[in-house]
Structure 1
Amino acid sequence: MRIVAWQDGVWSNEPVSSRIAAGALVAEAAEGSDYWQKTMYGFQHDNGHALLTPWEDSEAIEVSFSLDGFTELYDQAGIMLWHSDKVWIKAGIELNDGIPHVGAVVTDGYSDWSLSPVPEWTGEIITLRASRMKDAVILRARTDSHPWRTIRVARFPYETGKQAGPFLCAPTRPGFQVTFTRWAASAPDTDVHTDPPVR
């Protein structure tokens, strides 16, 4: 396990504010910030906030954050996997109809969205994990009291030029803050049916 320092990342778009407090990163998203490309809505949003470092296949990436403060429609945070402004994946928690949902948006020119309600995760620390295998990425999520859940296997065939790290967006309101508690790299997954260790 290798801890990634917050200061090693570079923001895709600077948030309203960010600070390190007791080892955690506290960031505030700008009102109207989001990542989405075209599908169904027609609009293109690329003004969300992702803190990115280079990502190699020799490591899986994990991002942990607190669900405290998620109160409004589409409040969201998690892990961003970035190859270009038209090819990326975000996975995490998004508030939908007052309930936290775990899911992913996979984008290759156009975005798609998959999600599942997780009301039992309310108020917990969430960990998202991404590990690339062959031409795909395995996305998993857990909390401190719930085991790993595989949330998506998506095509992501890029051996080079990848970046990854925490992200947050606030499409509908100002003042949304997220406390990220950990950013780490570890050994990659060996099989989609084998859960990685909990560290």
Structure 2
Amino acid sequence: MSDRAGTSDDAAQPWGAGTWTAAPADVRGDGDDLLVTAVEGSDAWRHTSYGFVHDSAHALLAPLADPGAVEVTFDLDYDQQFDQAGLVLRADAETWVKAGVEFADGAPSVGAVVTLGRSDWSVAPVPAWAGRRVTVRASRSGDAVTVRARVDDEPFQLVRVAPFPAGTPLQAGPYCCAPTRAGLVVRFRRWTTGPADAALH
């Protein structure tokens, strides 16, 4: 299952299918791609360790089937502290998952923040992914979300299996934010949705 690349039933979502949770500084098309400029200070976090609540990340969301999966591809060409991009699953302000690649402490790291009232954060450094194309996939089924990621056409790696309230309607799609600086521009290449993954492994 680790090399799963979606299924033939996955469908490309037009960028216009989603609604922004918080408006970016700029959004423009470039061929089939979407270029998103983040607002300085944009972020998503609730309470844990830092003591603050931030809910200003730029997430382009549309309803996701339950069970169902969402996949987002973007270029990892950013290198400033806490720059990040990937995907979001969101039920409400206190119930969400963000997964992708965040630049922290001198290197890009793949990981996920799972928020059920309070946030947690799991990361793993992936310095070899810098400057390459990343795909993040989240599959929701039952009481869990499974997050996988890969670079270019390499096999998917398991990032996280996390609890998520069963039966809760949610929206999903690409996101980015720039907690510490202005000028982050993320090139999103693709956004698809489809059936949930058939198995964990």
Q: TM-score range by the shorter chain?
A: over 0.9
Which one of the candidate residues 150, 167, 176 is aligned to 1:168?
Answer: 176
**What residue identity is the alignment partner of 1:41?**
Y
- How big is each residue's C-alpha offset from its partner over 1:70-121, in whole Å with a ceiling of 9 and x where there is no partner? 1110000000000000110000000011200000000011100000000111
2:167 corresponds in structure 1 to 159
Per the alignment, residue 129 of structure 1 pairs with: 137
Structure 1: unaligned runs, 5 residues or longer: 194-199
In structure 2, do the counterparts of structure 1 residues 110 and 44 end up closer, same or farther at CA, with 3 Å as the change threshold?
A: same
2:94 corresponds to 1:71: no
Runs of 4+ in 1 over 6 A off after TM superposition: none
Alignment match, 2:154:
146
Q: CA–CA distance in 1 between the matches of 2:87 and 2:172?
A: 7
- Is the Cα contact below 8 Å between 1:81 and 1:90 reproduced in 2? yes
Match in the other structure for 1:189: 197
The Cα offsets for residues 5-58 of structure 1, whole Å up to 9 and x where unpaired, read as 000100000000001111101000000000000100101100111000001124
Which structure 2 residue ranges, 5 or more long, are not aligned?
1-9
The residue matched to 1:159 in structure 2 has which SS?
A: coil
Distance 1:58 1:155, change over 3 A: closer
How far residue 188 of structure 1 moved from its aligned partner, in angstroms, is 1.6
Q: CA deviation at 1:189?
A: 0.6
Of all paired residues, the percent bearing the same amino acid is: 49
Q: Does 1:44 align with 2:53?
A: yes
Contact 2:68 2:141 survives alignment (8 Å): no
2:127 aligned residue: 119
Aligned residue among 12, 15, 25 for 1:16: 25
Count of residues in correspondence between the two structures: 192
For the pair 1:100 / 2:101, whether they are aligned, the reply is no
Question: Normalising by structure 2, what TM-score?
Answer: 0.93
Specify the SS of the correspondent of 2:128.
helix
SS of 1:7's equivalent in the other structure is helix
Contact 1:135–1:156 (CA<8 Å) still a contact in 2? yes
Write the distance in 2 (CA, Å) between the matches of 1:100 and 1:58.
Answer: 30
1:52–1:166 Cα contact (<8 Å) kept: yes
Compute the RMSD of aligned alpha carbons: 1.0
